[in-house]
């Protein structure tokens, strides 16, 4: 990748927007100078100029949540930079996928909260890559497809049992706070373990989403 021609400001900096290569989600905004731009292109890891520290900063140098460069371009005036990258974990220092998520990791304006699954996936993918000691996700992935597959099967059964308990409570007019909470917990376990299985098989969520989208379009 060649260095683009950037018109840096009088302070030697240019604003830089980082998008996720998987879906275009804006992850963060920071600043680059000529040194950071060159380091990004040379290493493939996204670098910035830290104004607070006054030095070159490789994103993820302490957290491990690096941004791996996929493309880099400038705007129409060549004075702002757009970086497309793959994130190896949450981008924001709060542990959320994007700096534009709220504190719980939910994209503002996404009422059902499904967008937070991106944060969960980023964490699982990071565990699969870095394999930190003491991590339950690491232990599952180290066990291979059989270990993770067994958990998916177990959790699917637990979801069915919890759903039936909730249905019984509904049919007899009993309070459902407990059964709804149990069902939520079991579905959460199933979703988590399904994502871990995908990570173990190196199957990105976008491939699964593409199948769902194609089926949706076919059926109108």
Mind listing the pLDDT tens digit of every residue in the chain (220 residues)? 678 889 999 999 999 999 988 778 899 999 999 999 999 999 999 999 999 999 999 999 988 889 999 999 999 999 999 999 998 888 888 888 889 887 655 555 555 667 778 778 888 988 998 899 999 999 999 999 999 999 999 999 999 999 999 999 999 999 999 999 999 999 999 999 999 999 999 998 888 988 988 888 887 6
Q: Report how far apart, in Å, the C-alpha atoms of 138 and of each of 57, 61, 118, 190 are.
A: 28, 21, 18, 17
- At 38-70, the pLDDT tens digits run 999 999 999 999 999 999 999 999 888 899 999
Q: How far apart are alpha carbons 60 and 69 in whole angstroms?
A: 13
Nearest partner of 85 among 31, 129, 20, judged by Cα: 20
CA dihedral 15, 18, 19, 22 (to 10 degrees): 160
């Amino acid at each position: 990748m060649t260095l683009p021609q950037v018109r840096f400001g009088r302070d030697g900096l240019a604003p830089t927007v980082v998008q996720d290569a998987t879906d275009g989600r804006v992850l963060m905004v920071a600043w680059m100078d000529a040194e950071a731009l060159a380091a990004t292109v040379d290493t493939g890891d996204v670098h910035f100029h830290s104004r607070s520290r006054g030095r070159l900063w490789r994103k993820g140098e302490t957290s491990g949540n690096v941004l791996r460069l996929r493309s880099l371009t400038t705007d129409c005036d060549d004075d702002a930079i757009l970086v497309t990258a793959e994130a190896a974990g949450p981008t924001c220092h709060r542990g959320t996928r994007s700096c534009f998520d709220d504190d719980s990791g939910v994209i503002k304006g996404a009422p059902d909260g499904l967008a937070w699954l991106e944060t969960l996936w980023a964490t699982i993918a990071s565990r699969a890559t870095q394999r930190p000691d003491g991590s339950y996700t690491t232990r599952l992935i180290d066990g291979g497809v059989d270990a993770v597959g067994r958990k998916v099967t177990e959790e699917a059964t637990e979801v069915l049992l919890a759903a039936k308990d909730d249905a019984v409570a509904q049919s007899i007019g009993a309070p459902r706070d407990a059964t709804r909470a149990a069902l939520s917990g079991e579905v959460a376990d199933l979703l988590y373990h399904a994502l871990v299985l995908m990570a173990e098989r190196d199957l990105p969520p976008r491939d699964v989403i593409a199948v769902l989208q194609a089926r949706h379009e076919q059926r109108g």
